[in-house]
């Protein structure tokens, strides 16, 4: 079912629905449009990023092995919504005022963390093609793609540092990320122990 071409197509269209909804809603938002769009696109960026990271542990469940086909697209959608989120801020809010941008990116930890997350996703997006995997070799490609976890940490930190009001959502994402990182560490040591046992 997961490997079915139609399932993938439906998934792909579903990933575009947040964008379609925003386009539809755009003209109707009368108050605080800037804030609404910034928050909406930020939310979808972090959701896609966490979802892409969740695939690695989930695909260990035999019935969910086919999820691997969706990991790359989820990561690319995270980058796409992140780019939209960043561009919206710089184009509509700041209007490419270099003085504000410089100030944001030198003294405001909230913006530094957001930019760090987006920049960390860039090499992953650029090397997402089969050609790049072949050129880099599987091991190097996999090592580079661990940056996705760092992008997740920076993204969640950005959200935690937003700190305008008491909001538990960033803590939920921080918790999810901690579980995913924890799972990664457990699998790593499990694999190492197995290799040592077979070698010895």
**Do residues 86 and 109 lie in contact, with contact meaning Cβ atoms separated by under 8 Å?**
no
Shortest distance, position 30 Cβ to ligand HEM, whole Å = 17
Largest CA-CA distance found in the chain, in angstroms, rounded: 68
Q: Stretches 7-15, 135-143, 159-167, 190-198: which one binds ligand HEM (CB under 6 A)?
A: 159-167
Q: What angle do CA 159, 92, 13 make, to 5 degrees?
A: 70
Angle between helical axes of 169-199 and 147-160 (0-180°, round to 10):
160
Q: Given the rule CB under 6 A, which of 115-123, 130-138, 176-184, 191-199 is the region that contacts ligand HEM? A: 115-123
70 vs 111, beta carbon nearer ligand HEM:
111
The gap from C-alpha 44 to its chain's centroid, in whole angstroms, comes to: 9
User: What is d(CA 105, CA 110) in angstroms, rounded to the nearest whole number?
Assistant: 9
The residue from 22, 51, 80, 155 that contacts ligand HEM (CB under 6 A) is 155
Where does this chain touch ligand HEM (CB under 6 A) — which range of 55-63, 68-76, 107-115, 123-131?
Answer: 107-115
- Residue 49, interface with ligand HEM (CB under 6 A)? yes
For residue 33, give both structure tokens: 């449009």
Residues that bind ligand HEM (CB under 6 A): 35, 38-39, 42-43, 45-46, 49, 82, 85-86, 89, 111, 114-115, 117-118, 155, 158-159, 162, 164
């Amino acid at each position: 079912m997961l490997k079915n071409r139609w399932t993938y197509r439906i998934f792909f269209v579903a990933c575009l629905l947040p964008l379609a909804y925003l386009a539809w809603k755009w003209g109707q938002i009368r108050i605080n449009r800037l804030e609404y769009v910034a928050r909406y696109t930020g939310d979808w960026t972090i959701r896609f990023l966490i979802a892409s990271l969740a695939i690695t542990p989930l695909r260990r469940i035999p019935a969910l092995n086919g999820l691997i086909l969706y990991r790359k697209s989820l990561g690319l959608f995270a980058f796409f919504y992140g780019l939209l989120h960043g561009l919206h801020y710089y184009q509509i809010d700041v209007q490419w005022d270099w003085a504000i941008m410089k100030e944001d990116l030198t003294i405001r930890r909230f913006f530094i963390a957001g930019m760090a997350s987006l920049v960390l996703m860039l090499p992953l997006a650029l090397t997402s093609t089969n050609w790049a995997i072949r050129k880099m070799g599987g091991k190097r490609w996999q090592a580079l793609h661990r940056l996705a976890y760092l992008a997740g940490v920076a993204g969640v930190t950005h959200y935690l540092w937003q700190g305008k009001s008491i909001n538990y959502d960033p803590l939920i994402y921080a918790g999810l990320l901690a579980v995913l990182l924890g799972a990664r560490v457990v699998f790593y040591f499990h694999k190492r122990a197995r290799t040592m046992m077979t070698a010895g």
